[in-house]
Structure 1
Amino acid sequence: MRMLFVASALPSHFFAMAPFAWAAHAAGHDVRVATQPQLCPAVAACGLATVGVGRPMDFAGDYRRGRAADPKDLFVRIAADMADDLVAMARHWRPDVVVWEPTSFAGPVAAAAAGAPCWRFLWGPDIVGRGGSGRERMPDGVRELFTRHGCSADQVPAWLTIDPCPPSVQVPTSAPWRHVRYVPHSTAARVPRAVLAPPRRPRVVVTLGMSVSGLVGEQAFPASRVARALAGDGGEVVVALGARQAAAFGEVPPGVRLVADCPVTTLLAGASAVVHHGGAGTMMSAVLAGVPQLVLSSMPDLGFYGDRLAATGAGLRLGADDADDTAVRDAVNRLRADATPALRLRAEALRQPTPARLLAELTAVPTM
């Protein structure tokens, strides 16, 4: 099969479906990833054939400067910019299926124009579709793109949603839906030898996420303040940062270790809790590791993810304005006291089919 994957704006949106794309590649399918030019290097680093569509855009800068009353408007603008190139590519290459992440609205437009089915691949709790097919929440600007390319949004068949969230974290749905096991993916590759050894003291991991810090600035989740609040309790605090963030961290208190450009999944092994910004990638990695989570949300969508997690008992959420030092310490102590809900959620996640297994089911050719 020819499989066209479509991603826009943020590398983390593609990273969620990268293992599924790799499963397709390993199974012998012809895989192409279409994305905005500025994201091509990050996607190409995953080892998959990548095609740039549309013009380079500074999504993070536009978001910080408030160039849209609703962030969805920025994704509509991106879709409008990507659509012409993407539709032309799809009509020429003729994919058998188009796989797109929820903010890549140009994906279903290209699928409709090329007469191909499409699969929507989530990265976490479905904040865009809210558990529906997604068609009923499609912005008017995207509907206009369907018309511009010779088809109607009202005539597009309901797409299949592929979901890496355990069912208890996800929004209830009756739409066409398949769950898949979440597989962490990151382009960070540096693993210090010291973090591979089992921790001698209870470990708390603190991470602010690379994608979100680029959108709202590091002041929205001050990792240094959180680390200092947790230091001195007799445990070990490991702070996961990018190299540039580590250089700006400031004085490192006793009991705190900075680790730069290391996959967070490596640090979570043996951790008793993780404190993070609420990004879906970090949240799902911690779910898979069975680690209780404290979400300090600074954006509405991250609060939505945190609330979905907290409803399972596997984590807690504090708003940025409520996260003083005492509240953070108290929340972490509560989480460390009972990891049972987090382990239960991990078991649920591991019951979902692997990307390779789900792909084989979805692409099986009926025999006579």
Structure 2
Amino acid sequence: MEIVRVLFVTSPGLGHVFPTISLAHALRAAGHEVLVATAGGKDAANAGLPVVDSAPGVDISAVFEQAASEQPEEFDFSTNIDTEKGLAFIGAIFARVSGISVDVTVSAAESWRPDVVVHSPLQGAGPLVAAKLGVPAVTHGIGFADEAAATEAIFEKMVDERERHGVTALPEVRESIDVAPPSMVDRPVRGWPMRYVPYNGGGVLPEWVLERPARPRVAVTLGTVLTQFGALTSLTKLVDVARNLDAEFVLALGDADPSPLGELPDNVRAAGWVPLSALLPTSSALVHHGGAGSTLTAIAAGVPQLVLPHGADQYLNADVVARRGLGLRSEPDQVDAELINRLLTDTGLSSAASEVAEEIIGLPTPADLVPKITGLV
């Protein structure tokens, strides 16, 4: 067997790194070599992968803040990315975020000499490196949006980086991986369909996580970004409503301090960091912000979901969930007891959630895609 070297180049943030981990593990399990290039690198390193920090010493939050101050009209996080304005937002901001990773990623790639580059959709350094080295590039989808258009918009705006490295066009050989369940999108499959196999990090689980409670358990998360920008209080109405419901609510909020929510009712547990893929099998529903990872992890678990979108692709994800009938969407301040009761008792929601969970089980696994990726060499 020929050993193939695959360089994963991802945008910073768990929502971009985590969806690629299952494929990286599948490649390594098949005997191939994997290297990850991402800003910071801790998240991929904790998954047991060798990592190059592609932006050493750079504060990614500061990069976003500077871009926001310089481009206030384009940097509007509340923008729905499934629009022309949204695509401009993605192109402008993630070209900047991609640009800080280009030089280190190019240097690492020239030393390590990958045979294939797999990159997240919003990381323009991936296709740039693949084009410079003349190797195939594979876009690893992370959700439901038009990710090909986003990749092209970002690449187009990376004028200085492309000129510096002598890259004039996208890689000659380009493929893509589509993790969106076919029944949830009204477009053709982009490239290779793949079953979404959640990777939500590891950890020692509290004993209660594996136990199915006597009353319904509702998992609640805002992902890993929103809690850093003061969005935790968007759950205030949900916590107030929970007080009078016969259900258990688990706030999986990572490192976020839950104190802005006030004194929690007895049936609301602040659980810190709990991998969703471990929590959802004993949960009856998920309430979340609409991040692609949370949405797809709930779909894989077959549980109904209530989406409270805050911005970016979250509006699109919320609409997709509601349209397919496996969940509901609401503004955070409009959550009430009737909505939560419907989430927990509507058999139509649970039936649709089960249908889509079965649908994705039938899709090719990350292991099934290994020969396709290595076959590009």
Counterpart in the other structure of 1:217: 230
Displacement after TM superposition at 1:3 (Å): 0.5
Does the 8 Å CA contact 2:245/2:337 hold for their aligned counterparts?
Answer: no
Q: Find the residue that maps to 1:241 and give its secondary structure.
A: coil
> Which structure 2 residues correspond to residues 164-243 of structure 1 after superposition, within 5 A?
164-170=179-185, 172-173=187-188, 175=190, 177-214=191-228, 216-219=229-232, 221-222=234-235, 224-243=236-255
Counterpart in the other structure of 2:37: 34
The separation in 2 between residues aligned to 1:192 and 1:129, in whole angstroms, is 40
The separation in 2 between residues aligned to 1:11 and 1:333, in whole angstroms, is 29
The separation in 2 between residues aligned to 1:129 and 1:318, in whole angstroms, is 28
TM-score (norm 1): 0.87
Displacement after TM superposition at 1:248 (Å): 5.2
Displacement after TM superposition at 1:335 (Å): 4.4
Which runs of 5 or more residues in structure 1 are unaligned?
none
Aligned equivalent of 1:12, options 6, 12, 15 = 15
After superposition, give the CA deviation of every residue in 1:187-229 in whole Å (9 maximum; x if it has no partner). Answer: 3513110121122112222112123323x4224632x431331
Q: Find the residue that maps to 1:343 and give its secondary structure.
A: helix
**Cα-Cα RMSD:** 2.6
- Call closer, same or farther: CA 1:5–1:356 in 2, change over 3 Å: same
List structure 1 segments (4+ residues) > 6 angstroms apart after TM superposition: none
> Which structure 2 residues correspond to residues 40-59 of structure 1 after superposition, within 5 A?
40-59=41-60
Counterpart in the other structure of 2:177: 162
Displacement after TM superposition at 1:22 (Å): 0.9
> Which structure 2 residues correspond to residues 131-170 of structure 1 after superposition, within 5 A?
134-135=151-152, 137-138=153-154, 140-153=156-169, 156-157=171-172, 159-170=174-185
Instruction: Tell whether 2:15 aligns with 1:3.
Output: no
> Which structure 2 residues correspond to residues 285-304 of structure 1 after superposition, within 5 A?
285-304=297-316
Displacement after TM superposition at 1:278 (Å): 0.6
Aligned equivalent of 1:21, options 11, 20, 24 = 24
Which runs of 5 or more residues in structure 2 are unaligned?
76-88
> Which structure 2 residues correspond to residues 305-344 of structure 1 after superposition, within 5 A?
305-320=317-332, 323-325=334-336, 328-329=339-340, 332-333=343-344, 335=346, 338-344=349-355
The separation in 2 between residues aligned to 1:89 and 1:331, in whole angstroms, is 52
TM-score (norm 2): 0.85
Does the 8 Å CA contact 2:239/2:261 hold for their aligned counterparts?
Answer: no
The separation in 1 between residues aligned to 2:364 and 2:35, in whole angstroms, is 23
Question: Once structures 1 and 2 are overlaid, which stretch shifts more, 283-292 or 47-56?
Answer: 47-56
Structure of greater relative contact order (alpha carbons < 8 Å, 6+ residues apart): 2
The separation in 2 between residues aligned to 1:336 and 1:62, in whole angstroms, is 45
Aligned equivalent of 1:354, options 351, 355, 365 = 365
The number of residues matched between the two structures is 356
Give the letter for the 1:54 counterpart.
A
- Call closer, same or farther: CA 1:59–1:327 in 2, change over 3 Å: farther
Give the letter for the 1:275 counterpart.
V
Give the letter for the 1:160 counterpart.
E
- Call closer, same or farther: CA 1:341–1:114 in 2, change over 3 Å: same
The separation in 2 between residues aligned to 1:172 and 1:273, in whole angstroms, is 28
The separation in 1 between residues aligned to 2:121 and 2:300, in whole angstroms, is 22
